Structure 1
Amino acid sequence: MRPLTEDDVRSSFVNASPDELRIVALPTDFMLTDWDHLDFFAWRDPRTRGRGYVITEVDGEPRGVVLRAAEGRSGARSAMCNLCHTMQPADQVALFTARRAGVAGEHGDSIGTYICTDLSCHENVRLAPPLAPSEIRASVDLRIDGTRRRAEAFVGRVLENAEVRR
C-alpha cells in the first residue's frame, strides 16, 4: 500500500459525516506505519469504543470506511473472519457494519461482515498455523492476496451506486 498522510487518511473516508471525520483518532503508532508491509490499513479507534476503520486502494486511490462493531457476544465457540479467512475463538471475531456511501447511507442502509476484532487481518494471514495431519499449507502469498481482495471488495460494496465526494 502506498504511504498515506493524516490528511490522506481523513479525506479517504467515503461513508463518514463531517462530525465523524473530526473525531477520527489515528493509531498511536501511525507515524511508524510500515506501508510496504500493508495490503490495506485498518485499526480500532483508540478513543471511541466500538469504532474501527479500513482503508484500501480502489482504482489507485485510498478509500476508507468507518466501521461499527456490534455489541454483545456470540454463543459460538469459534468463528471465521470474512476478510482473512482465519478461524478464531468467537470473542476474537466481531460483526462490523459500515453505513453505505451516498444517499443509501444517508437513508440508513448499511452492510456488515465478520472481521477480526482487533482488525489485524493483514498480520493474521502472515502467521503460519500448525498443520493438521495430511494437511497441505496454502501459499502465504495467496492468503495475503485473497485478504487484500476481500477488503477491497468490502469497501467496494460500501461504495456501490454512490458518487464519492472529494
Structure 2
Amino acid sequence: MLPITEKTLRASFVNASRRESNDLPLPEGFDATPWADLDYLGWHDPKIARRAYVVVPGLDGEVVGVLLTSTDRAPRSRALCSWCRDVRLPNGVVTFGAKRAGAAGRRGDSVATLVCEGFECSLNVRKDPPLPYEGFDAAAARAERIDVLRLRVAGFADVVREGA
C-alpha cells in the first residue's frame, strides 16, 4: 500500500458523515505505519466498542475508507476470513458490516463480511504456506495470495462505494 496522509485518510471514507470522518481516531502509530507491508489499513476505534475502520486502495486506484461495525456475537464455529482465507489463523474472525455509501446507505442497505478480528490479513498472506509437495513454489504462492487479498479487499470497498 502506498503511504497516505491524515487528510487523505479522512477524506477517503465513503460511508461516513463528515463529522464521523473528522472525529475518527487515527490508528495507533499512524506516523510509523509500515506501508510497504500492508495491503490495506484496518483498526478498531478505542472509544466506540464494535466500530472499526479500513482504508483500501480501490480497484480504480483511489483510496476508499469504510466505516465498519462488528456484530455482538462471534461465529458459532471457527470461521474463515473472507479476505485472506488463511486456514492457520492465530486469531479470531469477526463479522463486520458496513452501510453502503450514498442514498443506498441512507435507505439502510448494507453489506457484511467475515474478517480477521485484528486485521492481520496482510501478515497472514505473507507467511510461507505449507509445502504440499516437493518442488512447490512457495514464493509464487505467497505472491498470488497477496494479489488475491488485494482484489478481495478492494472488491469489498467497491461494493460499499457502489451505493453512492
TM-score interval w.r.t. the shorter chain? Answer: 0.7 to 0.9
What 5-or-longer segments of structure 1 have no aligned partner?
Answer: none
Q: Give the corresponding residue for 2:41.
A: 41
**Which residue of structure 1 lines up, in the alignment, with residue 150 of structure 2?**
148
Work out the CA distance in 2 between the residues paired with 1:111 and 1:41.
19
Partner amino acid for 1:155? A
Corresponding residue of 2:159: 157
Cα separation, partners in 2 of 1:88 and 1:94, compared to 1, 3 Å:
farther
Partner of 1:110: 110
CA contact (8 A) 2:129 2:142 kept: no
TM-score, reference length from structure 1: 0.87
Q: Which residue of 2 is the match for residue 2 of structure 1?
A: 2
Within 5 A, what are the aligned runs for 1:78-89? 78-87=78-87
* Aligned residues: CA RMSD: 2.2
Q: Which runs of 4+ in 1 moved over 3 A?
A: 88-91, 129-134
Alignment of 1:87-102 (within 5 A): 87=87, 92-102=92-102
Query: Greater share of strand residues, 1 or 2?
Result: 1
Give the Cα separation in 1 of the matches to 2:102 and 2:116.
26
Hey, what does 2:14 align to over in structure 1?
Answer: 14
TM-score by length of 2: 0.88
Count of aligned positions: 161
Name which of structure 1's ranges 99-108 and 121-130 shifts more when overlaid on structure 2.
Answer: 121-130
Inter-partner Cα distance in structure 2 for 1:12 and 1:119: 19
CA distance in 1, matches of 2:34, 2:90: 29
- In the alignment, what sits opposite 1:74? 75
Deviation at 1:157, TM superposition (A): 0.4
Deviation at 1:130, TM superposition (A): 4.2
Distance in structure 2 (CA, Å) of the matches to 1:46 and 1:140: 32
2:62 aligned partner: 61
SS in 1 for 2:158: helix
